[in-house]
Structure 1
Amino acid sequence: MRRTLRAHGHRTAATVTLALALAATAPPPPAGADPARPGTLAEVRAELERLYHDAEVATNKYDAADEKVTAQEKRVRTLRSRIEAAETRLGRLTSLAGAAARAQYRGDSLPAEMQFALSDNPEHALDNASLARQAQQATQGVLTALTATREDLEKRTDDATEVLKSLRESRRTKDTQRRTVERHIEDAKKLESRLEKKEIERIAALEKKEADDAQAKWVGSGILDRVGTEATPAGKKAIEFATRQLGKPYVWGAEGPDSYDCSGLTSQAWLHAGHVIPRTSEEQWRRLKRVPIEDMRPGDLIIYFADASHVALYIGDGKIIQAPRPGRWVYVSPAASMEILGVVRPDA
């Protein structure tokens, strides 16, 4: 059926150009012919669907790479902040240690600020002679340990920065792949727009018939007699959020509030239900709890295609809310209109 970007990344708009050109000049089907039979328009629709799928795969990979970059940037910032804190404390303790050494040379007691700096309970430091003596003996040990900690943080920061560079390069590569596929699709959409109304209607009819046939087969299996019908409170909130987004356009990489891609919609729906879930459909499939299809309930996420490149929110009665592809809007559709990979549960 549908293939991944690896298999179809070499395709260009030339294939669609030829198919659409033939479609535009092809005679209408004979009276009584099956409108869903394989033919030029069917090939056009299949090629467009493959391109849209490839673009969604590429975008998901870019989004996942971007998520890794964002997380790594946060880690690097945290490490640098800890280095700064360690350096500040090290400088302060070094200064106090010098003051303590001078005080000991003069025969004075440990300076009060040193006692405060090294005491776990500064409120009682001045009255605790034993703690002061321990602090005097431990001063050099604290400085040595703190220096070692700073050096370790510096090494970890250097390593994390190298990883960040690699992740950014990976993100740039995936973004280039995504943009290449998007350019192919833009060419295909321009050509598609030149089709006559009757060709467009025939393509839509092919698509609807395939979806209806798949849904009928799925429902005929008796699956709806076994699946759950009640959502959890969080699941209800996710469905309510997704319902409010109906009619908003699909945009690759979007996660609201004015437009969404497939996983942008599902991740935001569950975020508004109080659950943070992965951003991409692949990560939702990989990291969320999987449940058998016959055990699914409204609010669960249905993952589609062998590469987990699409996701939708199950709302019950065999239906989903999904953000399908460019040129479409968030809408309610049959749950089995696409190849189901499995089901995951965000609030397991």
Structure 2
Amino acid sequence: MGTGKRGLITAAVTVVCAVTVLAAPGTAFAAPDPTPAPGPPASVTRVTPATNKDLEAVRRRLETLYHDAAVATDIYNAAEEKVQKQSAELVSLAKKIVAGREKLADLKDRAGRGAAAQYRTGGLPPEAQLALSDDPGEFLDGHGRIRQGERATKHLLGETTRTQQDLEQYAQDASTQWSKLEANRRAKATAKKKIKKRIAEAEELESRLEKEEKERLARLEREAAHKAQTDWLGTGVLDGNIAGASEQGVRAVEFATAQQGKPYVWGAEGPDSYDCSGLTSQAWAHVGLVIPRTSQAQWEQLAHVDVKDMRPGDLIIYFDDASHVGMYIGDGLIVHAPRPGRTVTVTGAGSMPILGVVRPDA
């Protein structure tokens, strides 16, 4: 192998290795832990909510902040998934480029040997070789071989052209994938920044509360969730609902409920922590069914079912922007990973605004 060819292959292999590192799980794409919230500066006058009205305003503000963080988390998770796929595609394209360049070098080498053989015959046309030959029979045999050689040369040139075209296409595809990869990496960085900012704002706001106020705030949250659940059940939406879970659904519910007590961490897919769609996607992956990673993609791509017909294992999508998801476990309850600072838990299915229900194993 020539020095130039070795250098070409070495460079291409380096590209493959570099892109493989990009695609490796647990390196560039592992979601970092949320930044601890800073405490209020000593120089800032502390404002302490004193009334339930003040605390209700705090509750609604926290709800907004954590909702914004959930939306950004979905954007982050979607961008991460695309980055992983694009990185894998770049690895594949890099390998094709290496193989294509090796093939092209071999074709050119074979073409060069054919040209050298033609030179040794003096480049004379077959008619001239026949006129100068002492043995016409030997010439005719040789002429047949020449015709075969000409056909082989034509095929060789065609294959060389196709290989060059393939390499050009691979290069264009790699350039396109790289541009998409960079765009999604920027989207991830922007989403990450927003997530951390919203969580820090929420934690800073909560840090201003005294212990007794935090307890009252938690009570207000429970009361709001209970009222929403009671109102939802009061519509009769589940009256007569007797839908039983599928075999896979039963096992998915068992997996999800077994994660209770594990902390919510944005971007996490287990086994020690989860975000909302990380929990639901992993529960179904555990029983052998791959579903979309984000709550928005789950809403868009999975089969929709009516709320009154839902069964354990179905996923309930929440809010108009599909920014949250929980798994229905029966009896009007879901298991879900609520938000930063909370753990996987069971709560009322109607405790949040329902967008709709999807069925992974429809």
Instruction: Tell me the C-alpha RMSD between the 2 structures.
Output: 2.9
CA contact under 8 A between 1:58 and 1:174: conserved in structure 2?
no
Q: 2:234 aligned to 190, 213, 220, which one?
A: 220
Tell me how far apart the structure 2 counterparts of residues 278 and 86 of structure 1 sit (CA, whole Å): 35
Q: Aligned residue for 1:205?
A: 219
Q: 2:196 aligned to 164, 171, 182, which one?
A: 182
Q: 1:337 aligned to 346, 351, 355, which one?
A: 351
Q: 2:278 aligned to 245, 264, 278, which one?
A: 264
CA contact under 8 A between 1:215 and 1:334: conserved in structure 2?
yes
Residue 211 and residue 136 in structure 1: after superposition, are their counterparts in 2 closer, same or farther (change >3 A)? farther
Amino acid at match of 1:266: T
Q: Deviations over 1:205-251 (max 9, x none)?
A: 22112211221122222222344532212212211211221110000
Tell me how far apart the structure 1 counterparts of residues 282 and 248 of structure 2 sit (CA, whole Å): 13
Q: Aligned residue for 1:9?
A: none
Query: In the TM superposition, what are the counterparts of 1:1-348 in structure 2 within 5 Å?
Result: 22=47, 24-26=48-50, 28=51, 39-96=53-110, 137=151, 140-141=154-155, 143-348=157-362
Amino acid at match of 1:245: Q
Q: Secondary structure at the match of 2:154?
A: helix
Q: Secondary structure at the match of 1:223?
A: coil
Deviation of the 1:90 alpha carbon? 3.5
Amino acid at match of 1:189: E
Q: Which is greater in Rg?
A: 2
Q: Report how many aligned residue pairs link the two structures.
A: 294
Deviation of the 1:145 alpha carbon? 3.7
Q: Deviations over 1:275-303 (max 9, x none)?
A: 11111111111112222222221111111
Deviation of the 1:55 alpha carbon? 0.9
Q: Deviations over 1:34-66 (max 9, x none)?
A: xxxxx2111101001100110111121111112
Residue 184 and residue 83 in structure 1: after superposition, are their counterparts in 2 closer, same or farther (change >3 A)? closer
Tell me how far apart the structure 1 counterparts of residues 178 and 188 of structure 2 sit (CA, whole Å): 15
CA contact under 8 A between 2:296 and 2:323: conserved in structure 1?
yes
CA contact under 8 A between 2:80 and 2:188: conserved in structure 1?
no
Deviates more, 1:289-298 or 1:312-321: 289-298
Q: Deviations over 1:301-329 (max 9, x none)?
A: 11111111111111111111100001100
Residue 136 and residue 245 in structure 1: after superposition, are their counterparts in 2 closer, same or farther (change >3 A)? farther
CA contact under 8 A between 1:253 and 1:261: conserved in structure 2?
yes
Residue 136 and residue 229 in structure 1: after superposition, are their counterparts in 2 closer, same or farther (change >3 A)? farther
Could you state the TM-score of these two structures normalised by the residue count of structure 2? 0.72
CA contact under 8 A between 1:228 and 1:298: conserved in structure 2?
no
Seq. identity, %: 54
Amino acid at match of 2:296: E
Q: Name which structure has the greater RCO, CA cutoff 8 Å, separation 6+.
A: 2
CA contact under 8 A between 1:263 and 1:281: conserved in structure 2?
yes
Tell me how far apart the structure 1 counterparts of residues 349 and 237 of structure 2 sit (CA, whole Å): 11
Tell me how far apart the structure 1 counterparts of residues 319 and 193 of structure 2 sit (CA, whole Å): 22
